[in-house]
């Protein structure tokens, strides 16, 4: 149609080009393995990412190839994000916390030809390399030449130094232009429900998701924001921040592998970080450290949490420290952010306690995605905050299927079943009650394990808690609670049980409370309930 608007492909490379042109001076700060802090800018990073495209081509990477990264958050990892996707290849981020056998499986499944790896993961690569001889051609260590260490690789698998390759590379003047529906990234689900499955993101989906994440009622990113993603770049693309921050010129502060509370606090204060993003287990450790040391945040004002339920008690603890904490919800298959708990007129005006109560909800739906809670009759449940159903979603950044699993393919407008169970309230806020596989059904009544856990961690002697279903002859299942003591405290099981009185229906009060030294966590920080069931509530 004549006179219509221009059409440009929604390409990931356009983000870093914009950042270089209009926020060229904005900083990317990274902490290296040895603790050193290095600084670069979006302008310099864009130049190196272009050069990196010619490195990739010289390594034999072509359009559509998968290129793996096994790396923590850093400027180099960010360059790789842009160079790999920018040349039309697929950036396959791998979680180094997975079992080595799982990593070998996904590298083989994805057929990654080249692997970029942080020096600290070299031993892991040495261990799995013999199983990958038929797939992997080259391993590139993200290091300076003087920091290179010998690494035994099978014959035919080359070892390279990242900075040497870049120093020797040709300049690449242009970013190629291609279809926005080209695959840009690949991330395998944690595999807590069977073999890991690959989710393939596109340029278009990643770009639209990042724009949605930036919005004021979501992460609210601005050119003046200094954001520290604790969430790793191998965990669903660090929830879109590596794209969202350069889009608006926000400074990115990359913690590398230094994720303990003391290091994080030092980096936050030293780099004037005002926003940080991560999973609840990280926040729990940080808040505990703040309490024990009496330290205060110098500049941190906001925290975004996701990946698991954010307990009320953590929001309250952050509030006492002058920090506003809010949660979003999603999964690898949903890029991941689908809902975020931003205020509405109906929720913004309520008092502090009511706001804390409201903060346990996973939030309302972002434009660009949609959510349905479906009851047993196949219809949407009423928005009453009570009627539970299966949560499904669809939208611009929701998976249509899994990589190389044709039988998983669904239609573009079909609802993707998330496996989560929840309720929707009258204001459109989703509250998750469980994963479908973790549901507790006692005498015909559903009991929310998330609600029990939220209450348990409010108990002064409890640091962390998990509720699971224990088989029961009379009731089918009964809730069993496993708690980890707060440092220096000794929770009394009867006292913890009594703590539930009046807070939930009597039938939902856990029959048994077990005190444990620690809870098993998966590769993305989630509590592994399957292991807890095996240990404490086996079904034979």
- Catalytic residues, by residue number, are 189, 333, 441, 446
- Residue linked to tokens 């590298």: 107
540's tokens: 């034979």
The yes or no reply on residue 236 touching ligand ADP (CB under 6 A) is yes
Looking at beta carbons only, is 54 or 388 nearer to ligand ADP?
388
CB of 434 to ligand ADP, least distance (A): 8
CB of 336 to ligand ADP, least distance (A): 4
Angle ∠(461,466,470) on CA atoms, nearest 5: 120
Q: How far apart are the C-alpha atoms of 95 and 99, rounded to whole Å?
A: 9
Pairing of strands 66-70, 90-93: parallel
Q: Which residue is nearest to ligand ADP (CB)?
A: 331
User: Pick from 198, 229, 261, 336: which binds ligand ADP (CB under 6 A)?
Assistant: 336
Sign of CA dihedral 98, 101, 104, 106: negative
377's tokens: 């009759």
Number of residues that bind ligand ADP (CB under 6 A): 20
Looking at beta carbons only, is 88 or 525 nearer to ligand ADP?
525
The yes or no reply on residue 329 touching ligand ADP (CB under 6 A) is yes
Pairing of strands 337-340, 198-202: unpaired
In degrees and rounded to multiples of 5, residue 104 shows phi and psi of -60, -40
Selected range binding ligand ADP among 28-36, 131-139, 300-308, 375-383, rule: CB under 6 A: 300-308
The yes or no reply on residue 232 touching ligand ADP (CB under 6 A) is no
For 507, other C-beta atoms within 10 Å of its C-beta total 13
The yes or no reply on residue 524 touching ligand ADP (CB under 6 A) is yes
The yes or no reply on residue 312 touching ligand ADP (CB under 6 A) is no
Q: How far apart are the C-alpha atoms of 165 and 169, rounded to whole Å?
A: 6
CB of 378 to ligand ADP, least distance (A): 21
Q: What is the DSSP string of 39-67?
A: EEEHHHHHHHHHHHHHHHHHTT--TT-EE
The yes or no reply on residue 331 touching ligand ADP (CB under 6 A) is yes
The yes or no reply on residue 442 touching ligand ADP (CB under 6 A) is no
Sign of CA dihedral 381, 383, 386, 390: positive
Crossing angle of helices 75-86 and 241-248, rounded to 10°: 90
Looking at beta carbons only, is 382 or 419 nearer to ligand ADP?
419
- DSSP H helices, 402-484, are 449-456
User: Pick from 69, 225, 276, 418: which binds ligand ADP (CB under 6 A)?
Assistant: 418
Q: Which residues, 352 to 381, sit near ligand ADP by CB under 6 A?
A: 362
CB of 327 to ligand ADP, least distance (A): 4
Radius of gyration of the chain from Cα atoms?
Answer: 23
The interface mask with ligand ADP, positions 168-207, x = CB under 6 A, is: ---------------------xx-----------------
The yes or no reply on residue 308 touching ligand ADP (CB under 6 A) is yes
The yes or no reply on residue 95 touching ligand ADP (CB under 6 A) is no
The yes or no reply on residue 281 touching ligand ADP (CB under 6 A) is no
Looking at beta carbons only, is 23 or 235 nearer to ligand ADP?
235
- DSSP H helices, 100-169, are 100-110, 122-128, 162-168
CB of 364 to ligand ADP, least distance (A): 13
The yes or no reply on residue 435 touching ligand ADP (CB under 6 A) is yes
CB of 98 to ligand ADP, least distance (A): 11
The yes or no reply on residue 235 touching ligand ADP (CB under 6 A) is yes
Looking at beta carbons only, is 138 or 287 nearer to ligand ADP?
287
Burial (Cβ within 10 Å: 0-12, 13-18, ≥19) of residue 540 = exposed
169: alpha, beta or left? (left if phi > 0; alpha if psi -120 to 50): beta
Chain residues that interact with ligand ADP, rule: CB under 6 A: 189-190, 235-236, 306-309, 327, 329, 331-332, 336, 362, 418-420, 432, 435, 524
């Amino acid at each position: 149609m004549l006179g219509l608007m221009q059409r440009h492909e929604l390409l990931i490379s356009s983000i870093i080009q914009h950042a270089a042109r209009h926020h060229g001076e904005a900083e990317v700060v990274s902490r290296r393995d040895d603790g050193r802090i290095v600084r670069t800018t979006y302008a310099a990073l864009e130049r190196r990412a272009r050069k990196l495209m010619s490195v990739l081509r010289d390594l034999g990477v072509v359009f559509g190839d998968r290129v793996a990264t096994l790396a923590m958050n850093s400027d180099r990892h960010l360059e790789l994000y842009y160079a790999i996707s920018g040349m039309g290849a697929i950036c396959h981020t791998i979680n180094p916390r997975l079992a080595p056998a799982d990593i070998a499986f996904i590298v083989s499944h994805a057929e990654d030809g080249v692997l970029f790896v942080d020096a600290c993961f070299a031993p892991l690569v040495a261990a799995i390399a013999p199983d990958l001889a038929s797939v992997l051609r080259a391993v590139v260590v993200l290091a300076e030449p003087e920091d290179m260490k010998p690494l035994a690789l099978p014959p035919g698998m080359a070892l390279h130094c990242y900075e040497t390759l870049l120093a020797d590379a040709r300049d690449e003047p242009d970013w190629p232009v291609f279809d926005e529906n080209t695959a840009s990234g690949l991330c395998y689900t944690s595999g807590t429900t069977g073999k890991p499955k690959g989710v393939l993101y596109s340029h278009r989906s990643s770009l639209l998701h990042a724009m949605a994440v930036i919005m004021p009622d979501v992460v609210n990113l601005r050119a003046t924001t200094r954001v520290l993603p604790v969430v790793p770049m191998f965990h669903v693309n660090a929830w879109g921040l590596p794209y969202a921050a350069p889009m608006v010129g926000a400074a990115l502060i990359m913690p590398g592998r230094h994720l303990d509370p003391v290091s994080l606090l030092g980096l936050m204060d030293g780099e004037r970080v005002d926003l940080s993003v991560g999973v609840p287990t990280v926040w729990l450790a940080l808040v505990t450290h703040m309490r024990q040391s009496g330290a205060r945040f110098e500049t941190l004002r906001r925290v975004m949490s996701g990946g698991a339920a954010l307990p009320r008690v953590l929001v309250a603890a952050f509030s006492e420290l002058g920090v506003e904490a809010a949660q979003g919800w999603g999964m690898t298959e949903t890029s991941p952010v689908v809902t975020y708990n931003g205020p509405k007129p109906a929720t913004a005006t309520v008092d502090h306690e009511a706001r804390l109560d409201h903060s346990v909800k996973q939030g309302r739906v972002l434009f660009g995605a949609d959510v349905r809670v479906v009851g047993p009759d196949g219809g949407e449940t009423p928005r009453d905050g009570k009627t539970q159903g299966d949560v499904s979603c669809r939208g611009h950044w929701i998976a249509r299927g899994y990589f190389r699993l044709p039988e998983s393919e669904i239609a573009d407008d079909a609802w993707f079943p998330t496996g989560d169970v929840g309720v929707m309230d009258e204001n459109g806020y989703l509250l998750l009650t469980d994963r479908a596989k973790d549901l507790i059904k006692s005498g015909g009544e559903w009991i929310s394990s998330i609600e029990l856990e939220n209450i348990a961690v409010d108990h002064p002697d409890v640091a962390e808690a998990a509720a699971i279903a224990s088989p029961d002859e009379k009731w089918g299942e009964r809730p069993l609670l496993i708690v980890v003591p707060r440092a220096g405290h000794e929770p009394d099981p009867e006292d913890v049980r009594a703590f539930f009185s009046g807070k939930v229906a009597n039938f939902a009060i856990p029959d048994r409370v077990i005190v444990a030294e620690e809870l098993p966590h998966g590769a993305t920080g989630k509590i592994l309930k399957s292991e807890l069931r095996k240990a404490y509530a086996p079904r034979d």
